[in-house]
Chains A and B, each alone.
Chain A
Amino acid sequence: MKREIPLLITFGIGTLLILSVFIPPMETLGEDFTVFFDIIAVFAFFLGGGNLLRVHVNKLQNRKTDWPFSIVTLVGFVVVLAIGMFKLGNPGGIAAQPTAAGSLFQEIFDYVLVPLGATMYSLLAFFVASASYRAFRAKNREATILLISAFIILLGRTPFGMMATGWIPESFDILQVPNMAVWIMNSPNLAGQRAILIGIGLGVVSMSLRIILGIERTYLGGDD
């Protein structure tokens, strides 16, 4: 029963949602289920928070590798949670939005989270540069094509692309670097991306059917 009931629920809801797309009187069913899903998803926040606490408290208790970072995580989590929930340092008090201008919650967001997030993302530039230096080498024909494409895209994303090839007459404007960059995006990239997307789409359909029909049971836990 522990397995049959979840399988039955999955089958019933999955079938109903499919039918709701094809049968007009059932159309609003999809909406209602989405709202139910949102209500259920709220509990995921509690689970996520609880899990974060459990993992890091466990790490601290057992003095696992890099345990001091867990203190930072826990302190950050508890402090921000308290500020957000009880609206500490909020100019409008408990009745105002925690994201109101000048609130402590918003200040933490603006001066801690935004710069940290931007820094993490910006580090990508360093790794891209280092990886480009090593990866884009004309070792064979395919690698050379990739190298040339990378060069065109890189140059096309700067004003130098137009400066270098802007003199090419309008009738041959496809040879201007920015237009060549657009062509690479619009043709070879598009073909590859579409093939991947169609593959993913078919994969999602088949996996969904497997779940609805109870063939795929890994989401229930265990191996079978």
Chain B
Amino acid sequence: MPDLWLSIPLVALVDVGRTISLIFIGGGLVWLLISALKGREVDRRIIFLFIALSVAAPILFPMTFSEKATAVVKAVYDKVESLPEGSSVLISFDFDPAMAPEVQPMANAITRHALSRGHKVVFMSLFATGQALLTQSLQEVVVEGFPELVEGQDYVNLGYKAGNEGVLNVIITNFKKMFPTDVNNIPYDSIEALRGIRSCKDLDLVVSIGGGKPGVKEWVLFVGDPGQVPIAAGVAAVVAPQMYPYYPKQILGILGGIKGAAEYESELIKHYPRFADMDTPGLRMMGPQTLAHMVIMIFIVIGNLSFFVAKRRRRRE
């Protein structure tokens, strides 16, 4: 009963906060629109302020939207779904903390999906800072979400290996040569999850999550193409357009930015009710992204209005 008492004002507070911030942002933009009709330019600091508000408001007062997976995201989901139980899936954390807020939700969602399908998951990283992020994901997703799974038996953490694309160049023919042990110094041959995996060619799916170098592109060039290994990609939004030349033949699907993560999460929740209560940073961050995109679009309109008004004024003069 006391919880109910507490929750009612909290819900109301969120609703009121959301409404006020939307009115404030909307009102401000209308005012800027009117001044644009008078030919006034907007100072960049005002743009910064509106972006800050449009990102902060949905974080403070959550706004959620329903998502539907697009074909390019669905292809990755379907691949994980269609693999027979016990398949080997490698997830490579090829990103650093800067990119993590955008791509780590994808890594987490795919990890959940693969483990719940009963696949053996091999984790590794081509980024020095990726290993610590991998540790975070393992703790949050695997240890807390799948306490029944045993490290080394159901999944293995190979950690980071220096050498960039050189690492891939070796593991395409010989995994053990590059990773004689896992991060816990357990010898390769005694790891149950790696039984039958001599090289990347023995993997059923590789998912590279990242956007930098080495990353998805290197996985395609050094592993996907020479070894005929299916590669899926999860990349930052700014990198996604560069990945399309490889889709759908060399990369079977692409999760682009937080939208890709949100689509994957929604698909996962739709088919696996056990994940209904899971943390969904992708879906949560779609609120700030949506509002920020809308504000940017309105600023583009404002910029064009003031441009045309100024042009017409110059012509008259």
Contact = CB atoms under 8 A, between A and B. Distances in A.
Interface of A: 27-28, 30-31, 34-35, 37-38, 41-42, 97, 99, 101, 106, 109-110, 113-118, 120-122, 124-126, 128-130, 132-134, 136-139, 147, 150-151, 154-155, 157-160, 162, 178, 182, 185-186, 189-190, 193-194, 197
B76 to A, nearest CB: 15
A135 B247 CA distance: 29
B116 interface: no
A114 B100 contact: yes
A31 B131 contact: no
Tell which of B42, B51, B67 has the most Cβ of chain A within 10 Å.
B51
A116 B97 contact: yes
A158 B293 CA distance: 7
B241 A27 contact: no
Given A34-B163, A101-B135, A133-B42, A157 B259 contact: yes
12 contacts: A31-B170, A37-B163, A101-B139, A115-B97, A117-B97, A117-B99, A126-B47, A133-B44, A136-B300, A137-B303, A154-B293, A157-B257
A34 B170 contact: yes
Label chain B's interface by main secondary structure.
Answer: helix
B296 interface: yes
Label chain A's interface by main secondary structure.
Answer: helix
A157 B293 CA distance: 8
A117 B98 CA distance: 4
B163 A38 contact: yes
Contacts of B139: 101
B65 interface: yes
B100 A154 contact: no
Contact of A35 (B42, B177, B308): B177
B300 A41 contact: no
B98 A121 contact: yes
B297 to A, nearest CB: 5
